[in-house]
């Protein structure tokens, strides 16, 4: 497929949609255990956006039977939003299977998704490209919790989770003893490595990117404006805030910032996208301190697409791009990379 021209119609195109759904599970150890999974409404909205353009679709929940489902469905290309079913490399599971079966798909490949989910590893790589990020330390389960290199207060969160998973209403440590308690709590609830990084007090922004290469589009930065906070004295875009966002925050896009700050934030977002070899779409989060210094916080190369809720489609909507058009633009970007005519 990679050698086919965009100008050569392939006939009926079957689009697969791979995803992981939220399921009721009494065994969840934490209230946000399934925070990264999608609702069926999001999946159906993506399917509707694709079918609107006349394509056939097949919905494929990314569980242990996914390889067999793919062999039977034989999609021309897959629209992937699957988060995976456990482990630090979970977001790579579906892309790896798709590559194994030589099925093109939207979004970044397994290597990029593996790297980006590990926050510390991402920061370590980006530091070699002089992209500023807060000082941090990583603690693997059972190791001593040392504080060298950190400046309190620090924010504590799982090192390889998304959707603010593990960022509770008690996530700021102001001392070594508070840090040790929060790290231990995270180990108990989530089992993996824990990241502690200097808390950057200031304004918070997120930047959405769409496309590839010369056609890469960067939307204007969106600012998260805090009106209230569940964490006294600290504005943190955590799980509680995202669940009850109308109570705590509002959003402004384009952000009200000077042109130099906007251009530098866009430049950094494009640099991160390029260095990590992201594809088709991604979202990059920044903090800007009182002195106007920009700090990279993290990147999501598999951003949520819940209509009127997730940050990525919210940014697009602010810029006049409907959810349907955004979904199809992501699909078209992936198809063009693979030489598939839609």
Integer Cα distance of 91 and 330 in angstroms: 18
H/E stretch holding 152: none
CATH topology of domain 136-198: Dna Ligase; domain 1 (3.30.1490)
The 10s digit of each residue's pLDDT in 121-174 is 999 999 999 999 999 999 999 999 999 999 999 999 999 876 566 688 889 999
* pLDDT at residue 6, as a whole number: 45
Give all strands (DSSP E) within the chain, no chain letters.
Answer: 14-19, 56-61, 77-80, 136-139, 154-158, 172-173, 194-198, 202-211, 217-218, 222-226, 249-252, 280-289, 294-300
Residues of the chain under the 70 pLDDT cut: 1-12, 24-36, 162-166
CATH topology of domain 14-106: Rossmann fold (3.40.50)
Beta carbons within 8 Å of 322's beta carbon, 6+ residues apart: 316
The 10s digit of each residue's pLDDT in 224-245 is 999 999 988 899 998 889 888 8
- Residue position matching structure tokens 């497929």: 1
* pLDDT at residue 86, as a whole number: 81
pTM of the model: 0.91
Beta carbons within 8 Å of 69's beta carbon, 6+ residues apart: 60
Q: Is the peptide bond before 153 cis (omega within 30 degrees of 0)?
A: yes
DSSP state of 38: B
* pLDDT at residue 243, as a whole number: 84
* pLDDT at residue 162, as a whole number: 66
H/E stretch holding 331: helix 323-338
* pLDDT at residue 2, as a whole number: 40
Q: Is 116-132+201-326 assigned to CATH 3.30.470.20?
A: yes
* pLDDT at residue 32, as a whole number: 52
* pLDDT at residue 170, as a whole number: 86
Sketch the domain layout of the chain as residue ranges.
14-106, 116-132+201-326, 136-198
| Cα torsion angle, 261, 262, 267, 272, sign | positive
């Amino acid at each position: 497929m990679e050698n086919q021209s965009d100008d050569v119609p392939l006939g009926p195109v079957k689009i697969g949609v791979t995803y992981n759904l939220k399921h009721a599970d009494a065994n969840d150890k934490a209230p946000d255990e399934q925070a990264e999974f999608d609702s069926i409404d999001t999946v159906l909205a993506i399917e509707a956006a694709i079918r609107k353009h006349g394509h056939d679709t097949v919905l494929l929940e990314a569980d242990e039977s996914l390889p067999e489902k793919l062999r039977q469905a034989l999609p021309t290309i897959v629209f992937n939003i699957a988060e995976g079913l456990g482990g630090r490399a979970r977001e790579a599971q579906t892309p790896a299977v798709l590559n194994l079966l030589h099925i093109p798909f939207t979004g970044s490949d397994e290597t990029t998704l593996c790297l980006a989910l590990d926050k510390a590893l991402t920061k370590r790589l980006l530091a070699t490209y002089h992209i500023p990020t807060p000082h941090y330390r990583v603690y693997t389960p059972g190791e001593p919790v040392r504080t060298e290199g950190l400046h309190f207060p620090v924010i504590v969160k799982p090192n390889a989770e998304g959707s603010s998973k593990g960022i509770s209403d008690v996530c700021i440590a102001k001392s070594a003893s508070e840090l040790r308690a929060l790290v231990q709590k995270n180990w108990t609830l989530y089992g993996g490595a824990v990241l502690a990084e200097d808390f950057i007090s200031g304004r918070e922004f997120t930047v959405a990117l769409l496309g590839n290469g010369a056609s890469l589009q960067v939307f204007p930065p969106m600012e998260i404006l805090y009106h209230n906070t569940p964490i006294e004295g600290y504005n943190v875009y955590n799980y509680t805030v995202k669940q009850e966002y109308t109570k705590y925050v509002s959003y402004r896009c384009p952000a009200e910032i000077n042109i130099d700050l906007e251009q530098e934030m866009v430049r950094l977002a494009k640099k991160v996208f390029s260095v990590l070899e992201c594809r088709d779409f991604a979202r990059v989060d920044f903090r800007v301190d009182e002195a106007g210094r920009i700090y990279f916080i993290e990147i999501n190369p598999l951003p949520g697409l819940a209509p009127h809720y997730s940050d990525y489609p919210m940014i697009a909507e602010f810029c006049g791009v409907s959810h349907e058009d955004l979904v199809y633009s992501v699909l078209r970007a992936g198809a063009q990379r693979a030489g598939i005519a839609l």
